[in-house]
Copies of this chain bind each other. A is one copy, B any other.
Amino acid sequence: MPKRIQILIIGNNTNGCTVEHTKIAYETGSEVAKAGHVLITGGLGGVMEAASHGAQDSNGFTIGIIPQGDATMANQYCDVVIPTGMGLTRDFLNALSADGVIIIGGGSGTLSEICASYMHNKPIVAIRNMGGVTAQFIDKFVDHRENIKIIGVDTPKQAVDKILELITS
């Protein structure tokens, strides 16, 4: 049986993750699970935890790729933990593990994952009005290569529908 579709959700970590971010991340994780896909996150707090929580509540399968070398540092909603022991360098592994990426706000860490995803030609979708440094890249290209645009969408359901369309097209 070939591998399943792997969706990476990235965004605000514990700092800056509001009630609204948490709600949207939970719903997006839930939509990934309902669509039958595997959820990948960075395995820590904020958007990563809420998305994993939502996916598990909808009977999805969740993987957390964490900076630490110790699996117990992951949030409690990861079915599998990949403890990289590589620190924040694991941001690139997150991107490499994604068939497609969904952005929910986020700061410099999320931006590094966007750059990594872009350089590896991964489809990228962003939920609008989530704030953060990443907002300025929505509906734009990251740099001169115009093959990958960050597509803005308005809801978790739209994000999962759109990323699936981009992955399979």
Contact = CB atoms under 8 A, between A and B. Distances in A.
Interface of A: 1-4, 6, 15-16, 38, 56, 61, 63-65, 69, 71, 74, 76-89, 91-93, 96-97, 99, 107-109, 111-112, 115-116, 118-120, 132-133, 136, 142-145
27 contacts: A1-B56, A3-B64, A3-B71, A3-B78, A4-B80, A6-B71, A15-B144, A38-B79, A61-B80, A65-B82, A69-B120, A71-B97, A84-B96, A85-B89, A88-B116, A88-B119, A107-B142, A107-B143, A107-B144, A107-B145, A108-B118, A108-B142, A108-B145, A111-B115, A111-B142, A112-B115, A132-B143
A63 B80 contact: yes
A64 B3 CA distance: 10
A107 B69 CA distance: 21
Please state the number of chain copies in the assembly: 4
A1 B60 CA distance: 11
Contacts of A83: 96-97
A3 B56 CA distance: 11
Contacts of A92: 85, 87-89, 91-92
Contacts of A96: 69, 82-85, 89
Contacts of A143: 107-108, 111, 132-133
A104 B77 CA distance: 32
A69 to B, nearest CB: 5
